[in-house]
Every structure is written in C-alpha cells, then in structure tokens.
Amino acid sequence: MSTRTFRVWRGDDEGGELADFDVEVNEGEVVLDVVHRIQAEQAPDLAVRWNCKAGKCGSCSAEVNGMPRLMCMTRMNLFEEGETVTVTPLRTFPVVRDLVTDVSFNYRKARETPAFAPPADLKPGEYRMQQVDVERSQEFRKCIECFLCQNTCHVVRDHEDNKEPFAGPRLFIRAAELEMHPLDARPDRRELAQDEQGLGYCNITKCCTEVCPEHIRITDNGIIPMKERVAGDRYDPLVWLGRKIFRKGRQER
C-alpha cells in the first residue's frame, strides 16, 4: 500500500479546475479503483461513468496523464512511484460534469450510417457465409464503443467545425465492416464513406489504432482499405481499363 497524488478535473460546462487528492493505492489496482476510493472517501459528488470494470462496456473512458484510456484497464503499476496521476474527461466531447462527457455526437453519426442491407432474395435464417469471408468484418465487431478513437482523432479533437462533415474512425470501421460483408447488398458504401462520412479528412496518423483497447487495427484494416476502394473507384487507371475491356461491374464479388 502507498499514497499517491491524483489530480482530477472537477467542473461542468461553466468551468472547472484540477483538484488534488492524496489517496491510498494498493497492489493490483487500476485507476478506476483509485477514482472510486476518492469518491468514497473524499469527494462523494465526483461524477464518473463506469459499469463493467472489465474493459468490455466502454463506459469509463477518460484521459489519464494525457492519454485516452479506459480507467478500468489502466493499471497503477504503469506509473512511477511518486508520480502524480492526472485524470481528465474526454476533451473532444461536451462535458456534463467532472469526468462524464456527452458522447451523443457518436450516436448521431451512427444513425447516419445505413444499416446492413441483406440480399433481396434471402430471408433471415437463410444467410450462409464462409468463415474466411467474414473474418475481416468480425475484427470490427470487437468494438466496445468506448469512443477513445473518436476522442483522440485530431480531426475533431482539434477542430470542432469538422464534427459536421467527419464521422470518425469508429464509424469508418462500421462502414468497412459492411463494405466487406459478404452479404451486404448496398452498392454505395464507398461513396457514402467518402462523401458523407468524410473519409478524406483522415490523414492516417493512426492515433485511433494506438488508443483502441480492443487492439482493432482501425487504420490498416479499416480506414486504409476503404481509402483504397475509393481510390479504385475514382482514381485507378488500370481498374478503369479493366472494366472497359472486360465490361465488368464496379467490384468483383
């Protein structure tokens, strides 16, 4: 057992500041345990969102020493003995109070993403897919919607005005998941990603991948393949030539 100094942002949409707490830390604990101890012993009105404490619900997203993390998955032994730990709310979203932010931006963008469109000639229960064909999409299904990727993406983190044209990495992998889905019948996923979701705003700096607690390779397996598909549609001379010669449709299925 030892005592550590925690600096926790306290405030709401009218302002706030960092508050210092000297708090007991035990072996094996995570940041969320310590925040709960602060709440239990020193600041009962401290607002913090949490649920599973197992890295599966995506509720306890915050910024710990400046890095977007799940508090329940950030072990205290990550920090040096005597190091002050600073906990602040996600910066990209409006603050509700203390460590709780309003993440409704992400839900709005999710509603704007068209859902899975099954083939017209198949009824539910008749879908048949090869495992090898669904593996890529399944990686994206691991997403727990913690929105750390959305929070760390500088396109919206540093530029509030981009929230209108830009959907963010979480929704890009949703688009990629459906675009790569062997049974999705919607033909315009790529156009939607480029024109409606703002795929072109992404400059591949991979912070979304770095902070993903599920280790989804958001950029390499989701965003870049989508960019490549868009490039194939719009910019590739050989693809254009091949279509002319073989009279093929837009994409081999």
Partner 1 sequence: MTTTDDTSVSSPPRAAIATRTFRTDKWMRVPVLTVLGLTAWVAYATFRVFYQGDYWVADYHYLTPFYSPCVSEGCVPESAHFGRFLPDHPLIPYAALSLPFLLAFRLTCYYYRKAYYRSFWLSPPACAVPDGHAKYTGETRFPLIGQNLHRYFFYAAFLISIINTWDAILAFHSPSGFGFGLGNLVLLANVVFLWCYTFGCHSCRHIMGGRLRHFSKHPVRYRLWTVASTLNNRHMMWAWITLASLALTDFYVMAVAAGWIDDLRFIN
CB atoms within 10 A of CB 73: 16
Window of 27-35, 62-70, 113-121, 167-175 that interacts with partner 1 by CB under 8 A: 62-70
For 245, half-sphere exposure in the C-beta direction (CA atoms, 13 angstrom radius) is: 6
The SS3 assignment for 19 reads: strand
> What token pair was written down for 31?
């940041």
Interface with partner 1 includes 82 (CB under 8 A)? no
- Taking the least distance from each CB to partner 1, the nearer of 188 and 220 is 220
Residues 245 and 182: their CA atoms lie apart, in Å, by 26
- Taking the least distance from each CB to partner 1, the nearer of 26 and 84 is 84
- Taking the least distance from each CB to partner 1, the nearer of 38 and 87 is 87
Site for partner 1 in 172-201 (CB under 8 A): 180-182, 198, 200-201
- Taking the least distance from each CB to partner 1, the nearer of 23 and 49 is 49
The amino acid present at 95, given as its one-letter code, is V
DSSP annotation of 192 reads I
Interface with partner 1 includes 243 (CB under 8 A)? no
Pick from 105, 168, 173, 197 the residue near partner 1 by CB under 8 A: 105
Interface with partner 1 includes 74 (CB under 8 A)? no
Site for partner 1 in 2-21 (CB under 8 A): 9, 11, 13, 15-16
Interface with partner 1 includes 34 (CB under 8 A)? no
The SS3 assignment for 250 reads: coil
Q: Which among 185, 202, 184 has a CA at the least distance from the CA of 193?
A: 202
